Structure 1
Amino acid sequence: MSEFPGRPRVAKGALLVFGPIVPVPVQLIVFPLNPETLARRFDLGQAAGAKPAAGAGEAATPATAPVESLTVTLALDAADRLEHPAANPITVVSGLLPVISAIEQLIHPSTVLVKLTQALATAGLATITPSGLRWTVLVWGAGRVLPVKVGGLSITEQAFDARLNPITAHAELQLTTLSRDELAAAPVHIRALADVHAIAREVFAAVNTAQSAAQIPSVLPF
């Protein structure tokens, strides 16, 4: 069902955050509005852990997948929810603070985990690395579900309610795909998502080749 009656249902992008073991998201951020653009950049020379084959030059194809960088700009607007205050009491009281806080939490370690790490260190026990306890996954349609890490975040709050809660804002997320070494250290369900994404890309590429086969006579000069 759509969020509001009478509106067509559309697929929305999302960010899922998984814990270290259980393949169930511990945090879910559904994009209120899908960005009009999704900027993607592939750096062939930046793939972590990639080593050229013996005798290969710099121009050779990398041994591992390139690092993909994505820029996602989210438009956040509480207007629709504020038009239905009875159904959205949290928005009436807090505006966009819940979703903005959830986005910010992508780059902040858990306070509980930080204190637990400090307590373990004080007791001389093994410590926990907070950054290794959460895994972020970008969902952008059924064909693109890929593990990423947040490299940067910019939030611009543009309008506020009487309580100074933001009601209109833009959030720009800088994301990069996980390197080979990072995937090797990831739980099996995160590695599986990366494999499924790679296979889906190859399948779509093969479909394009099949669709283009009929145009070969108009392409070849003989």
Structure 2
Amino acid sequence: MTSFPGAPQVLKGGFVVMDGEGKKVERVVSFQYNPDALTRALAPRGAKTEMGDRLEGLRLTGMPVETLKLDVEFDATDRLEKPLGNKDAVENGIASDLATLETLIAPRVADTAQAQALAGTGTLEILPLPSPLILLVLGRNRLLPVRITDFSIIEEAFDPRLNPIRARVSLGMRVLSTEDLAWGTKGAELFRAAQSRREKLADARKTPVQALGLSGTL
């Protein structure tokens, strides 16, 4: 999967993990290879109407629910060809690459230990453990707050110590909109920016009704 010499530089997609308030970048997870395809589905939020309810038939109650699916691949072949400069790949294959994604959907051990300690002292913990803000980055113009909803791994090849050296990760995500995030938060701000870019793209595409075989007045 080595790139051709002289090939143009391609931006890498990945995730930016921020603290729950969106004030500090905690880490960056980049894809080794960008996904070949991205599946997007948008479910409109429409008012629940009964037959004959003429007031609600055209009304939208909020932003659509957008879900994403993509596959990302990891391969240690190139790194294993240069073992002196890739000690981690020699010792662990792509386990570190997979771990960077797997830890996106699990609370930190220290946080769970702290919660258990509070429970042991009789402290009632009502709220779940705080979660980081996860941003999916697919180029400079697509930066979306997401929640990972599906996660599966197919490990396809192994080294002599059974470390995975090639794998495919399938991810399902839900875009977090202003329906999910508090107004004024970093996540809500980024979603609004993405939606504004989408609206500008739509406004720039002007198509006359004549293109559909209709007259100028319907």
Scaled by the length of structure 2, what TM-score is found?
0.83
Counterpart-to-counterpart distance in 1, 2:24 and 2:4: 27
The amino acid that maps onto 1:114 is: T
Higher helix content, 1 or 2: 1
**Aligned mates of 1:37, 1:152 — CA distance in 2:** 16
Shift of residue 97 of structure 1?
Answer: 0.2
Matched, 1:122 2:120: yes
Q: Which amino acid in structure 1 is aligned with residue 198 of structure 2?
A: R
Q: 1:115 to 1:158 in 2, by over 3 A?
A: same
Aligned-partner Cα distance in 1 for 2:55–2:20: 39
Query: What are the within-5 Å matches in structure 2 for residues 71-110 of structure 1?
Result: 71-110=69-108
1:155-166 counterparts in 2 under 5 A? 155-166=153-164
User: Does 2:187 align with 1:203?
Assistant: no
State which structure, 1 or 2, has the greater radius of gyration over its C-alpha atoms. 2
CA shift at 1:58, angstroms?
7.2
User: What is the Cα-based RMSD across aligned positions, in Å?
Assistant: 2.9
- 1:24 paired with 2:47, answer no
Match of 1:113, as an amino acid?
A: D
Deviations 1:23-75 (A, max 9, x none): 23223211111111100111225xxxx7669x667754432111111111111
Correspondence for 1:144: 142
Runs of 4+ in structure 1 deviating by more than 3 angstroms, as ranges, are 3-8, 50-53, 55-61, 124-128, 216-222
CA gap 1:61/1:161 in 2 versus in 1, 3 angstroms? farther
Q: How does 1:47-62 map to 2 (within 5 A)?
A: 60-62=58-60
Q: Which amino acid aligns with 1:83?
A: E
Note the alpha carbon deviations across 1:131-183, whole angstroms, 9 max, x for none: x3311111111221110101110100000111211111000001001254531
- Whole-angstrom CA distance in 2 between matches of 1:35 and 1:203: 26
CA distance in 2, matches of 1:142, 1:96: 27
The secondary structure found in structure 1 opposite 2:107 is: coil
- Per-residue Cα deviation, 1:167-206 (whole angstroms, up to 9, x for no partner): 1100000100125453118x72222111111111111112
Contact 1:117-1:129 at 8 Å conserved across structures: no
Any gaps of 5 or more consecutive residues in structure 1? none
Instruction: Note closer, same or farther for the CA distance 1:154–1:58 as it changes in structure 2 (3 Å cut).
Output: farther
Q: Normalising by the residue count of structure 1, what TM-score does the alignment of the two structures yield? A: 0.81
- Pick one of 165, 176, 179 that aligns with 1:178: 176
Would you say how many aligned residue pairs link Structure 1 and Structure 2? 210
What amino acid sits opposite 1:9 in the alignment? Q
Unaligned runs of 5+ in 2: none
Tell me which amino acid in the other structure corresponds to 1:111.
V
How far, CA to CA, are the matches of 2:69 and 2:134 in structure 1?
A: 15
Higher percent of residues as strand: 2
Cα shift at 1:115: 0.8
Give me the identity figure in percent: 31
Please give the alpha-carbon distance, in whole angstroms, between the structure 2 residues aligned to 1:137 and 1:71. Answer: 15
